[in-house]
Every structure is written in C-alpha cells, then in structure tokens.
Chains A and B, each alone.
Chain A
C-alpha cells in the first residue's frame, strides 16, 4: 500500500466521523454512526503498520497504528459499533440529531487518541472525546444525568489544566513532542516529579480512578444505555491509555511514587469491594467493577514506575489490560441492562432527582459566591462610591458659587480696572527691582 493511500486512510479514521458530525453532511446517509466506523474497520483489516507525519498540524503532529494500538482500535470499533446500534433506537427527533453529532465527535476523539503519536495530538483528541462524551451524557437526560455531566465536565477541565501544565513542562525542555522523544527529554529533567504528578492527576481525573472518581458513580447511575456501554471503553480506557503513553515508563525508576501508587491502587480495590457491598445496587455494579479494575491498573502502574525494567514490560501488558477492561465493563453493563429489562425489581431505583448536591459541588459553589462578594463586587462598588463622591463634590454649592461669584466680580468695572492698574504697577515694580 503506498504512503498516500495509507495517509488518507489514517487521517480518515478520526476525520470521517468528524465530517459526519456536521448534520448537513450526513443528512442523506442512513446509518451515519456505523458508516463513520468504516475507515477504522478497513485499517484493522489491513495487517500492516502505518504511520503518517503531519508537520503542518498544530506543532507538528502525526498518526500511526502499530501492534499495540491495533488491539485498542479493535476494541474501540467493536464497542462503538455496539453503541451505535443501541443509539439508533429513538426515532428522528432533534434530540437524536444532536445525540448523533455528539456521538460522532466522541468517536472521532476516541479513535484519534488511540492513533496519536505525540503528546499534543493525544491531548487534542482526548479533549475532543471528553467534551463530546459530556454531550452524550447530558443530552436530553434527566436531572441526574445533567448533574453527572456537570461533574464530569468540571473534572475534565481540571484534568485538561493539569495535562496542559505537564505539556508545558515537556515543551520547556524539548521541541519534539512525540511520545518517545518527550519521554527521553523529560526523564532527566529537574521537573520530572511535577510532570509525573500532573500526568497522574490529569488522567486519574479523566479515568475516574479512586479517590478522584467523583464523576464515575453519577455517570454510571444516570447514563443512557449507549453511553453506559461506552463508559468503560471510552473515557476510562482513554484515560488509562493516556497514563501509559505519557508516563516515561521504562525510562525512570521512582520507587517512592511507585509505592504510593501501589498503596493507592490497593486502597481503590478495597474501597470498591466495601462500598460496592454497602451500596447493593445492581446497576452500580459496573461502576465498582471499574473502580476495582482501575485500582488494579494503578497498582501495576506503580510497580512499573518503581522499577524501569518492570516498567518497560508493563507497557505492553497495559494495552491488553485496557482492552480487556473495556470489553469487560461493556459486557457487564449490557448484561445488567438485559437483567434489568427482564426483571426491573432487581435494580433498586436510582436516587431521586431532588437530592442535595454532593459536597464536591457545594463547596466550589460557596467559594465562587464568596469570591463574588469579596473580589469582584467590592471594586466596582468602591469605584461607584468614589464616582458618586466626585459627583457630589462637583455639585457642592460652594464650588458653584465660587465659580459664579469669581466671574461676576471679574465682570465689574471698578474691580477690573483696579486689577489692571495693579498689574501695570506690578510689572513696573518687578522690572525696576530685577
């Protein structure tokens, strides 16, 4: 296969869904969500490693498919195809039209992230995926879904900020932002620890790893079937993939951080078991399974960070782990959905919509209100009062009468001529003196 053709194919994997996301461009095609997957399917069918360099894109970017990403791509294609099928259920409504758009945007982001070969490219696609998925969660949903979306969005922004900082750290030491070069550049740099923590926080937020899993539970609780099916394979999997791609595994040994991560992972697994037991809702089972699995992942990641030899081996395994995680969660979700359809009693009703906002939503709200009181309202008020004072000063009668009286007295003959004489005398006197 020649390079042009492969480049077009690679580009069209994320590009075609993006194009179809414009409602005008898909109005004629009957199965837009499925058709959008076609380039990816073709790419899977051709068993060769492709890559394309896009020096004009952003700061110079690229796409590639290799041995590891092929598995991830396969997982994604299967999950997306299934979700697309589930999505078709509601008939032609404006909501469903929007939904299709968000679906395709998310799809493009998710596939692009898998193929990206550099930090900025990955960042871009995962951001696209994130915002698209937010739309998928929220669109036409209930109160609970909207709250879940809101939480997800807030965390997404925080995560992007953290990752942006990480990117800046890399960019400060190297101009080449492809994964390999970045790893090599950042490994010996002084701000390695900052970089590692930013990356870990960012992707932990994106993947909903305990204890930063705020968005995970509400999302699982309220997502519609198609979105629920994708939860494991798309946001979580992309988050985990990001951690694997961005961390310089195999280049560094950081035992302290590794140990901390391992403890965190164990904690996550314990939390999943205990909290899952106490919750006792069948619908929430995939959520706790996800927390458990990501905990396991973090434990292994910790081991990989602690020792560079383990790290390089772990890199390969991690991809497979992500693939199976995505599949597993999807199967679990579908299975429970099927159970629920058979016997609705088996699933306890979700919490009612009117429940109070969770703490992580209340506190920032209060902080913002406080900020409004302190920071932004006082200054204009101050200025307003100052202006009012100035206005009053201008209106004071003393000024007015001084100006009026001064002018009136200047208009009098006697006064004016006296002044004139004085002036003449003063000039003569001053001159004669000097």
Chain B
C-alpha cells in the first residue's frame, strides 16, 4: 500500500512538473517533452492505483490502459515532432507566437 501511494504521489508530482514546464518554456521541443513528462505521470498514477487491495494480485486493467496510453503518447509525440520541424522550417523559430498571427 505504502509504495503504491508513493508511486501515485510521484506520478502526480510528475504531472504537475510537466504542467509547469509546459507553461514556462517557450521552445516547442521543451513543451513536447513537458507533455511527455505529464503523460508519464498519469501512467504512473494508473499503475500505482492498480494495487487496489493489500496483498492481492494487481488489477490488470490499468496496465492494459497504460500500454494503450503509451502507444497513443508515442504517436502523438511523433506527430508533434514532425509538426515542430515544419514550424521551425516555415518560421525559422521553434516557438509559438504569443499572439496569433494577423
């Protein structure tokens, strides 16, 4: 029980950390990384919460979810990176303008 809660808290911490990074950093690569950190946090929470009762075998369903989530996260990251390359090729900077282009 104790390790599971710890994992969950760490997962929450990763989520918060990623959120902070997503807000603070302007470079797109950092933002993408931040999103990935957040995702890892969520996965950690999921895995941790799978241990629902002391001693019993962990619930397999969250694990299946995490695997699916990782697949999704990987493809999303791939798309994000491709898009970032295009953006930096087009604008010369790998950053988002603070205000939309007029």
Give the B-binding residues of A (Cβ under 8 A). Answer: 408, 411-414, 417-418, 421
Contact = CB atoms under 8 A, between A and B. Distances in A.
B19 A411 contact: no
Nearest to B100: A411
B22 A412 contact: no
A182 B23 CA distance: 94
Nearest to B16: A421
Interface in B2-19: 19
B23 A414 contact: yes
A417 B22 contact: yes
Contacts of A412: 98
A133 B19 CA distance: 95
Interface of B: 19, 22-24, 96, 98-100
- Determine chain A's interface SS by DSSP, over half rule: helix
Given A408-B99, A411-B99, A412-B98, 5 more contacts: A411-B98, A413-B22, A417-B19, A418-B23, A421-B19
A413 B23 contact: yes
Contacts of A413: 22-23, 96, 98
16 contacts: A408-B99, A411-B98, A411-B99, A411-B100, A412-B98, A413-B22, A413-B23, A413-B96, A413-B98, A414-B23, A414-B24, A417-B19, A417-B22, A417-B23, A418-B23, A421-B19
A412 B98 CA distance: 6
Nearest to A421: B19
A417 B31 CA distance: 13
A164 B24 CA distance: 86
Contacts of B22: 413, 417
Contacts of A418: 23
B12 to A, nearest CB: 13
Nearest to A411: B99
Contacts of B24: 414
B45 to A, nearest CB: 15
B101 to A, nearest CB: 11
The 6 closest A-B pairs by CB, nearest first: A414-B23, A417-B23, A411-B99, A413-B23, A408-B99, A412-B98
Nearest to A415: B23
A420 to B, nearest CB: 9
Contacts of A417: 19, 22-23
A421 B22 CA distance: 13
Contacts of B23: 413-414, 417-418
A400 B23 CA distance: 28
Contacts of B19: 417, 421
A140 to B, nearest CB: 72
Contacts of A421: 19
A413 B30 CA distance: 14
Contacts of B98: 411-413
A413 B28 CA distance: 13
A417 B24 CA distance: 11
Q: Which of B23, B98, B100 has the most CB of A within 10 A?
A: B23
B19 to A, nearest CB: 7
A413 B31 CA distance: 11
Nearest to A418: B23
A43 to B, nearest CB: 90
A413 B99 CA distance: 10
Nearest to A420: B19
Contacts of B96: 413
A425 to B, nearest CB: 12
A414 B22 CA distance: 9
A413 B98 CA distance: 8
Nearest to A414: B23
A411 B22 CA distance: 15
B30 to A, nearest CB: 12
A149 to B, nearest CB: 70
A415 to B, nearest CB: 9
Nearest to A417: B23
Nearest to B25: A413
A420 B11 CA distance: 20
A57 B99 CA distance: 79
A417 B99 CA distance: 15
